[in-house]
Amino acid sequence: MMNSTAPGGKPADQMRPGQAGIIARFEDMVIAGKLMAMGVLPEARIELVSRNALGYTLIYRVNGRFKIALRKDEARTILIALEA
């Protein structure tokens, strides 16, 4: 697992609700292929909307248009550059 100072960004599973950023790259090409087929592309704006009580399911808004639910291990493969 990469830390927040790693080149390419912070893993999306470490975001806090309401926090947003730009997708820098993907770490897992299998998951990346599935996400890109749904319109989750590099340089898209992604915002964490909520997480379930245990934190295993994360809800993200992509480009302000649609929401996706990801498991924590899937979200960990998305590296983002956080917005200020």
pLDDT for the residue 7: 58
Residues spanned by the domain of 61: 10-82
What's the sign of the alpha-carbon dihedral 22, 58, 12, 23? negative
Has residue 31 been placed in a domain? yes
The whole-angstrom separation of Cα 26 and Cα 64 is 20
Tens of pLDDT, residues 18-35: 999 999 999 999 999 999
Q: Which residues of 34-51 are buried (b: 16+ CB within 10 A; e: fewer)?
A: ebeeeebeeebebbbeeb
Has residue 48 been placed in a domain? yes
pLDDT for the residue 84: 63
Has residue 29 been placed in a domain? yes
Say whether pTM exceeds 0.95: no
Q: pLDDT class for 4, splitting at 50, 70, 90? A: very low
Has residue 4 been placed in a domain? no
Half-sphere exposure for 25 (CA within 13 Å, toward CB): 8
pLDDT for the residue 55: 78
